[in-house]
Amino acid sequence: MELEVRHLRALCAIADTGSLRKAARQLGMSQPSLTTQLRRIENAIGGRLFWRELTGSRPTPLGHSVLCRARPIVAEMNALVTEARQEAGRTTGARLRVGSMGSQAMAGWLRRLRARFPDADPTIHIDVRADSLLQMVSDGHLDVAFVHEPEDAPPRVPDGVHRRVLVAREPQFVALPATHPAAAHPVVPLTDLATDQWMVDPALDGQEAALRRAFTAAGRTPRIVHGDYPTAADLVASAELVTPCRPTATPRPGLAIRPLLDDPLTLRLSLASRAEPATTDALFRDLRDSYVEAAWSSTAYRQWLLRNNSPLLPTRDAAPSTPPPVREASA
């Protein structure tokens, strides 16, 4: 097998994330596929490149040597692709490349961007890791990115990337079975869920650590399992577990969304770009209006905003004056 740039990119991803699972998600492939690819690369080179340990993967001495040569090649290829795309954009029309970690506000944001920039043809790239999106902005693969991260565990921001805070401290709510005793209350103490099994997505950096810190502060130890949040929603509705969720999350049958008492889990939301913040004013305003619209359409979040006199409230005129009814599973 001959080595290709995609193979070198895979090696860099494994080294950067320290995990085959995280690298596979970053590369948009399954972990078994990446494991097979790594085995073939090692066979082609003739030696082991990574030690596989319980805590992740780390380069062997041979791996370090290969990575030292691989990184400049990958960087040069990234630069070539970026410059080629920029040149193509100048000849075929402007494009607006938007990144996000996923949000109920994305549909409204894209709708507003298409209305504001009818010739820009906005495209969307979704990634669950803030670090990946910030690096794509730094490398010129994205023009802007909507990122969120645990308040006390900010990601590394590459040089030249500017961030503008949308919400400095947004609470995370909990999604729990509609039949759960705690669902009968408008606000749930974390300790009332201490015996429940919690699912977190390990690809979201800082999520599990933040949950453990919150339980430690409450004098409890959480029961945590790993999975992705689409799967978690199904398991919550089946009364198998509970999970942290965004306050703008959409309710579904069998599932209730409730705020946690004293907001022990929080996120910071921001817009990242290489451009100076002043040049992204229009993009930021459209994102803010879309986020307020999504927040104001959520029964649980709307009530939280009113109780806490949130900074989002002064711009709620961007949302419908009479919010549409939100169907929520009854407790």
To the nearest 10°, report the CA torsion of 298, 301, 305, 310: -100
* pLDDT in the model for residue 127: 83
105 vs 331: CA distance, rounded Å = 26
**pLDDT higher at 330 or 86:** 86
pLDDT band at 173 (very low <50, low <70, confident <90, very high): very high
Closest CA to 295 of 166, 105, 100: 105
To the nearest 10°, report the CA torsion of 266, 269, 274, 278: -130
Digit-coded pLDDT (tens) for 21-52: 888 888 878 888 899 999 999 999 999 999 98
pLDDT band at 318 (very low <50, low <70, confident <90, very high): very low
Q: Among the listed ranges 27-31, 61-65, 93-97, 110-114, which one has the minimum average pLDDT value? A: 93-97
pTM given for the model: 0.68
